Amino acid sequence: MNSNDFEKKLGQQPMRAVPAAWRARILREARLAATPEPPAWQAWIRELLWPRPMAWASLAAAWVLIAVLRAATPAEPPLVVRQTPSPRETMQCFVEQRRELAALLNLSTETTAPQKSKSAGPRSELAMSPASA
Amino acid sequence: MPADTELERLYDAHAQALFAFLLNFTRKEADTRDVLQEVFIKLARQPALLDGVRDERAFLVRLAHNAAIDLMRRRGTRQRNYDQLAAESLQLFEPAASPDERAFRRALTAALGELPPDQRAVAHLKLWEGLTFEEIAAQLGIPPNTAASRYRYAIDKLRERLRPIYEELK
């Protein structure tokens, strides 16, 4: 077997051609890979949403449903606002009630007022008064 | 990035040679496509990669060879059985019209598959690219003597393996 002939024979075997469809694909991938990466915030949003896109879509759909139902429901009558009286009015009311109670018990309003105790004076005055003498 | 037209020019000028080299080296069409794509992605991303390069083909073959070695290392041993199955159905050459030539190409494909990848790479560049040992050595990053000895080993094995069918065809 002549070595040169053998090597020549091997080299004459035509290698398979590169598949034609690869050209477009490889060049497209190369161009895509060379384009600059999106800003960090876009990557962050994508990273946040990407793992569960269906879950996020369901949540958004639920919110839309809630908003639609709320818009479709008729408005409720306004609530009666109960105002609490001010401390001054409360005091006035209390005085009024006390007066009515006194009238019912036949007492004058004066008597109902707290009497100042006679013993509230100084002891020297007590000793000088005729009642105590 | 090289302009789109420049990338297209590089593809049209070198993709066929890179494809043949990678298909022979990796023995898998999917790996060949991945590595070829990786090479062109690298070219698109690094505009200055080819600046000052005198021999584009030699540079690209070296790039492809390194990428293919990285890929094969990443794959590890787990895929060897699968690789063996894929290699058996590999179509390395154009289909031949005559049955004898078809049989010879099938046998040659199988014989090349039995060579170690480093011998196969040298044999491919010598037989199908017509490079000298110095050129092969420069492209694969090995000494010229190593390239020559790998080629001798490869040719001896191929001759031994293909002798019966070669003699029959003569």
B81 and B108 in a single domain? The answer is no
Partnered with residue B93 across adjacent β-strands are A15
Per-residue confidence (pLDDT) for residue A52, from 0 to 100 = 75
B8 and B76 in a single domain? The answer is yes
- For A118, phi then psi, to 5°, come to -70, -25
B14 and B28 in a single domain? The answer is yes
B116 and B57 in a single domain? The answer is no
B84 and B2 in a single domain? The answer is yes
Domain final residue pick, B65, B90, B115:
B90
Top-confidence residue, A112 or B118: B118
Taking only the tens place, the pLDDT of each residue in B7-34 is 999 999 999 999 999 999 999 999 999 9
Domain final residue pick, B37, B58, B90:
B90
B45 and B102 in a single domain? The answer is no
Check whether A11 has a pLDDT greater than 70: yes
Per-residue confidence (pLDDT) for residue B18, from 0 to 100 = 97
Check whether B116 has a pLDDT greater than 90: yes
Most confident of A75-84, B67-76, B129-138: B129-138
Q: For chain A, how many helices (H) and strands (E)?
A: 7, 0
- In this prediction, residue B113 has a pLDDT band, given cuts at 50, 70 and 90, of very high
Taking only the tens place, the pLDDT of each residue in A34-93 is 877 667 777 777 777 776 778 888 899 999 999 999 998 877 666 655 667 788 888 998
Partnered with residue A15 across adjacent β-strands are B93
B76 and B107 in a single domain? The answer is no
B108 close contact with A: CB closer than 8 A: yes
DSSP one-letter code for B160: H
B157 close contact with A: CB closer than 8 A: no
Residue with tokens 């639609």: A68
B45 close contact with A: CB closer than 8 A: yes
B83 and B111 in a single domain? The answer is no
Reduced to 3 states (helix: H, G, I; strand: E, B; else coil), residue B93 is strand
Per-residue confidence (pLDDT) for residue B1, from 0 to 100 = 47
Report the CATH number that the domain containing residue B32 is assigned in CATH. Answer: 1.10.1740
Task: Please tell me which residue of chain B has the smallest CA distance to A6.
Answer: B159
Residue with tokens 């962050």: A44
B151 close contact with A: CB closer than 8 A: no
Q: Which of B21, B24, B159, B167 to mutate to test the interface with A (most CBs of A within 10 A)?
A: B159
What residues of chain A lie within 8 A of the CB of B92, using their CB? Answer: 15-16
Directed axis angle between helix B56-75 and helix B29-45, to 10°?
120
Q: Which of A13-17, A119-123, B61-65 has the lowest mean pLDDT?
A: A119-123
Average pLDDT score over residue span B45-54? 87
B153 close contact with A: CB closer than 8 A: no
Q: Rounded to an integer, what is the distance from CA A51 to the centroid of its chain?
A: 26
Per-residue confidence (pLDDT) for residue A133, from 0 to 100 = 41
Count of domains forming chain B: 2
CA-to-CA distance for B73 and A64, rounded, in angstroms?
Answer: 52
CB–CB contact A15 B23 (8 Å): yes
What residues of chain A lie within 8 A of the CB of B159, using their CB? Answer: 1, 3, 6
B36 close contact with A: CB closer than 8 A: yes
Q: How far is B2 from chain A, CA to nearest CA, in Å? A: 10
Q: Which of A54-58, B33-37, B55-59, B161-165 has the lowest mean pLDDT?
A: A54-58
Check whether A120 has a pLDDT greater than 60: no
B9 and B34 in a single domain? The answer is yes
Report the CATH number that the domain containing residue B131 is assigned in CATH. Answer: 1.10.10.10
Top-confidence residue, A87 or B150: B150
B48 and B86 in a single domain? The answer is yes
Picking from B33, B44, B128, the nearest residue to A30 by CB comes out as B44
CB–CB contact A26 B128 (8 Å): no
Cβ-based neighbours of A99, under 8 Å, separated by 6 or more: A109
CA-to-CA distance for A89 and A5, rounded, in angstroms?
Answer: 124
Helix, strand, coil abundance in chain B, percent, nearest 5: 80, 0, 20
Find, among B167, B127, B169, the residue nearest to B147 by Cα: B127
Picking from B45, B108, B166, the nearest residue to A1 by CB comes out as B166
Q: Rounded to an integer, what is the distance from CA B54 to the centroid of its chain?
A: 21
Cβ proximity of B57 and B17 under 8 Å = yes
Q: What is the dihedral of CA B54, B57, B60, B65, to 10 degrees?
A: -130
Taking only the tens place, the pLDDT of each residue in A13-28 is 999 999 999 999 999 9
Reduced to 3 states (helix: H, G, I; strand: E, B; else coil), residue B97 is coil
- In this prediction, residue A132 has a pLDDT band, given cuts at 50, 70 and 90, of very low
Q: Which of A33-42, A109-118, B74-83, B130-139 has the lowest mean pLDDT?
A: A109-118
Find, among B161, B86, B127, B11, the residue nearest to A19 by Cα: B11
B101 and B80 in a single domain? The answer is no
DSSP one-letter code for A89: H
What residues of chain B lie within 8 A of the CB of A6, using their CB? Answer: 155, 158-159, 162, 166
Average pLDDT score over residue span B125-148? 95
What residues of chain A lie within 8 A of the CB of B11, using their CB? Answer: 23, 26-27
Check whether A122 has a pLDDT greater than 70: no
CB–CB contact B37 A30 (8 Å): yes
Domain final residue pick, B90, B111, B142:
B90
Top-confidence residue, A121 or A70: A70
Cβ proximity of B116 and B27 under 8 Å = no
- CA–CA distances in Å: residue B5 to residues B1, B8, B34, B48, B86: 11, 5, 22, 16, 35
Per-residue confidence (pLDDT) for residue B137, from 0 to 100 = 95
- CA–CA distances in Å: residue B100 to residues A8, B96, B169: 17, 9, 7
Q: Which domain does B76 fall in, by range?
A: 1-90
CB–CB contact B167 A1 (8 Å): yes
Check whether B153 has a pLDDT greater than 70: yes
B8 and B80 in a single domain? The answer is yes
Indicate whether this model's pTM tops 0.95: no
